[in-house]
Amino acid sequence: MQSENIRADSLPIMESAIDNTLPAVEAVSCERNTCGGIETFVKDTQSTMEKLTILSDAAKYDVACTSSGVDRKGNGKDMGNCLAAGICHSFSADGRCISLLKILLSNECIYDCKYCLNRRSNDVPRATFTPDEVCELTMNFYRRNYIEGLFLSSGIVNNPNYTMELIYATLYKLRNEYRFRGYVHVKGIPGADAMLIQKVGYLADRMSVNLELPTAEGLSRLAPNKHRKNILTPMRQIQNGITQGKQEVAIYRSAPAFVPAGQSTQMIIGATPESDYQVMAVAQGLYDNFQLKRVFYSAYVGVNNDKELPAPSTATPLLREHRLYQADWLLRFYHFRVEELLDEKRPNFNVLLDPKCDWALKHLEQFPVEINRADYHTLLRVPGIGVKSAQRICGARKSGALSFDNLKKLGVVLKRALYFITCNGKMMYRTKLEEDYITRNLLSLHEKLPFDKDGMTYRQLTLFDDSENNVALFG
Amino acid sequence: MEEHVLICEDSIDGILTGIYEAYQYKKDNGIDSHDWMHLAVKEPDIGRLLTCYTKIETNAEKAQKVSRTIKRELGEHTFYDLCLAMVSADAEKADAVYHTVVIGLKYHDRNVFARLGEPAVQKAFACQRGAGNELNHYRQFLRFAELESGILYAKIGARDRILPFLMPHFADRLPADNFVIYDELSGVFGLHPQYKQWYLVNGADFDEDSLVFSKAEAEYSALFTQFCESIAIEARTNPKLQMNMLPLRFRKYMVEFERRANEETLH
Shortest Cα distance, chain B CAs vs residue A9, angstroms: 33
CA A248 – CA A258 distance, rounded (Å) = 10
Distance from the Cα of residue A182 to its chain's centroid: 19
Peptide bond into A368 cis (omega under 30): yes
Residue A143 and residue B174: Cβ atoms within 8 Å? yes
Same domain, B123 and B20: yes
A183 HSE (CA, 13 A, CB side): 29
Question: Does B140 fall in a domain?
Answer: no
The structural domain count of chain B equals 3
Selected for mutation to probe chain B from A97, A146, A148, A451 (highest B CB count within 10 Å) is A146
pLDDT at A431: 87
A47-341 homologous superfamily: Aldolase class I (3.20.20.70)
What is the domain extent for residue B179?
Answer: 156-211
Q: Please answer whether residues A130 and A173 qualify as being in contact, where contact means their C-beta atoms are separated by less than 8 angstroms.
A: no
CA A216 – CA A5 distance, rounded (Å) = 37
Same domain, B163 and B264: no
Same domain, B161 and B249: no
pLDDT at A15: 38
Q: So where are chain A's domains?
A: 47-341, 355-443
Say which residues have a Cβ less than 8 Å from residue A214's Cβ, sequence separation at least 6. Answer: A267, A269, A272, A274, A278, A279, A282
Strands B152-156 and B179-183, bridge-based pairing: parallel
The residues facing A100 across adjacent strands are A149
Question: Does B54 fall in a domain?
Answer: yes
Shortest Cα distance, chain B CAs vs residue A72, angstroms: 10
Between the alpha carbon of residue A51 and those of residues A132, A160, B61, the distances in Å are: 13, 22, 59
- pLDDT tens for residues B53-83? 999 999 999 999 999 999 999 999 999 999 9
The percent of residues above 90 in pLDDT, for chain A, comes to 72
pLDDT at B207: 85
For residue A151, the chain B residues in CB contact (below 8 A) are none
pLDDT at A128 over 70: yes
Question: Does B143 fall in a domain?
Answer: no
Same domain, B38 and B69: yes
CA A61 – CA A151 distance, rounded (Å) = 13
Pick left, alpha or beta for residue A425 (phi over 0 → left; psi -120 to 50 → alpha; otherwise beta).
Answer: left
String of DSSP letters for A295-345:
EEEEE----S--TTS--TTSPP-HHHHHHHHHHHHHHHHS---HHHH--SS
Question: Does B227 fall in a domain?
Answer: yes
CA B182 – CA A204 distance, rounded (Å) = 34
SS3 breakdown of chain B: % helix, strand, coil, rounded to 5?
55, 15, 35
**Which chain B residue's Cα is nearest to A396?**
B115
Same domain, B186 and B218: no
For residue A81, the chain B residues in CB contact (below 8 A) are 172-173
Question: Does B87 fall in a domain?
Answer: yes
Question: Does B31 fall in a domain?
Answer: yes
Of B82, B100, B132, at which residue does a domain stop?
A: B132
Same domain, B13 and B110: yes
Q: Please answer whether residues B217 and B146 qualify as being in contact, where contact means their C-beta atoms are separated by less than 8 angstroms.
A: yes
Shortest Cα distance, chain B CAs vs residue A438, angstroms: 29
The percent of residues above 70 in pLDDT, for chain B, comes to 97
Question: Does B147 fall in a domain?
Answer: no
Give chain B's residues under pLDDT 50: none
Name the residue facing A74 among B154, B173, B233 (closest C-beta): B173
Same domain, B84 and B66: yes
Q: Where are the beta strands (DSSP E) in chain B?
A: 3-7, 37-40, 51-55, 145-146, 152-156, 179-183, 188-192, 199-202
Same domain, B33 and B11: yes
- pLDDT tens for residues A300-346? 998 888 888 988 888 889 999 999 999 999 999 999 999 999 999 99
For residue A92, the chain B residues in CB contact (below 8 A) are 228-229, 231-232, 242
Give the residue among B256, B92, B59, B87 at the shortest CA–CA distance from B185: B87
**Which chain B residue's Cα is nearest to A372?**
B117
Of B132, B167, B188, at which residue does a domain stop?
A: B132
Which of A13-17, A179-183, A391-395, B253-257 shows the lowest mean pLDDT across its residues? A13-17
Phi, psi of B39 (to 5 degrees): -125, 135
Question: Does B150 fall in a domain?
Answer: no
CA B104 – CA A342 distance, rounded (Å) = 47
Strands B3-7 and A421-422, bridge-based pairing: unpaired
The residues facing B182 across adjacent strands are B155, B189
For residue B176, the chain A residues in CB contact (below 8 A) are 77-79
Give the residue among B131, B132, B127, B138 at the shortest CA–CA distance from B182: B138
pLDDT at A472 over 50: no
Of B211, B231, B258, at which residue does a domain stop?
A: B211
